[in-house]
Structure 1
Amino acid sequence: MIAIFAALVSLALTPVVHSAPTSSLDASVFLQNGKDAQALNAVFANISTTDSCNDGEMACVTNSLAHCVNATWQLEACSDSLSCFAVPSVREKGTVISCSTNATALAIISASGATGGI
Structure 2
Amino acid sequence: MTGKTKRNIIIAALVVAIGLAAYVATGSAQAPVTFKDIGYSTVDDTQAEVDYQVTKSPRATAKCAIKALDSKFAVVGWKVVEIAANEPQDDPDGGRTTVQRTTLRTESPSVSGVVDNCWIVDSGK
What band does the TM-score fall into relative to the shorter chain?
Answer: under 0.3
Whose helix fraction is larger, Structure 1's or Structure 2's?
1
Whose strand fraction is larger, Structure 1's or Structure 2's?
2
TM-score, normalised to structure 2, is: 0.25
- Between structure 1 and structure 2, the one with the greater Rg is 2
